[in-house]
Structure 1
Amino acid sequence: MPVTIDDVRAVAGGLPRSYEVIVRDRVKFRVGSIVWVAFNREETEMGFAFPKEEREALVASDPGVFFMPRPSDLRFNWVECHLDRLDEDLMRELVLDAWRMVVPRKLWAHAGGGDGST
C-alpha cells in the first residue's frame, strides 16, 4: 500500500517540537521556523531535510523514488521523493532522520532516538 501524507502526519505530528502549517496551499512541518518536511500541492511528493553532501548518492541509489530539489533549493539540506514509491518503514526512517537534523541531539535521544540509528 502506498504511503500517503496521512501516514507521514502520523509519524511527524507526534515528534517533540514539530508542528504542521499550511503555506501557499502546501502542508509543511516545522520545528521553530525551520521547515523539515514539506509536500507539493497535490500531496504526491515529499521534500525533507537531508545532508547536501549525501543527496546525490541517495538520488542515484533509487532515481525512481528520489530526486533533487529545484535549483533554488539546492543550497539547503534538502531532497525530494515520490510518496507513493516509499514503503512505510523507509518513510518512517526518512522522516525521523529529517527531524533529527533540526532538533538538538539531547531532544531526539530523550524522545527515544538513542544514538541516531533507526
Structure 2
Amino acid sequence: MTWDDVLASGLTLPGMEASTSYGTPALKVRGRLVTRLRTEDDSLVLHGVPPDEREVLMAVDPRVFHVTPHYAGHPAVLARLAALEPERLWPFLVRRWREVAPRRAVAGFDAARVGE
C-alpha cells in the first residue's frame, strides 16, 4: 500500500478528511486523529488498538505489525505500509473512525450498510 491508497480508503468514511499530524500526512474527523503516516519507517499509526490485541497482531504477522518504545504505553500499533493489505487496514480505520466520529454520522453509516 501507499499513503494514497490509505487516503482513497479512508476518505470514503463520512466526515473523514486529509490533514496533518506532527507534520506528517494524517486522516482526521472533525480534527480528531484517526491515523497518520510515520515517515521515519513508512508505517501507519493505528490508534485504538489495546496492548493485548497489539501483541497478538505482532506475533501473528510481525512483517506488518510492530511497535516502537514511544507507542508501547499507548493503545496503538504500527503497520508497515509496504506489507499492509487494504482489507487488513479497513477494519482498523472503521473502528477508530467510530471512536471519533459524531454519533449521527456513525448511525447514518450503519443504516446505509444495512441495505448492502
Q: TM-score range by the shorter chain?
A: 0.7 to 0.9
- The unaligned stretches of length 5 or more in structure 2 are none
Q: Per-residue displacement from partner, 1:45-71 (whole Å, max 9, x unpaired)?
A: 111123314211111111111012x33
- Structure 1: distance between partners of 2:6 and 2:25: 11
C-alpha root-mean-square deviation of aligned residues, in Å?
2.6
Partner of 1:9: 7
- Structure 1: distance between partners of 2:14 and 2:100: 11
- Structure 2: distance between partners of 1:94 and 1:58: 12
Partner of 2:79: 81
- Structure 2: distance between partners of 1:10 and 1:89: 13
- Structure 2: distance between partners of 1:24 and 1:104: 24
* TM-score, normalised with respect to structure 2: 0.76
23-32 vs 80-89, which deviates more?
Answer: 23-32
Partner of 1:102: 100
Alignment-mate amino acid for residue 66 of structure 1: F
Percent identity among equivalent residues?
25
Change (3 A) 1:17 1:74: farther
Contact 1:49–1:99, Cα closer than 8 Å, also in 2 = no
Question: How many pairs are equivalent?
Answer: 112
Change (3 A) 1:61 1:24: same
- The unaligned stretches of length 5 or more in structure 1 are none
Alignment-mate amino acid for residue 14 of structure 1: T
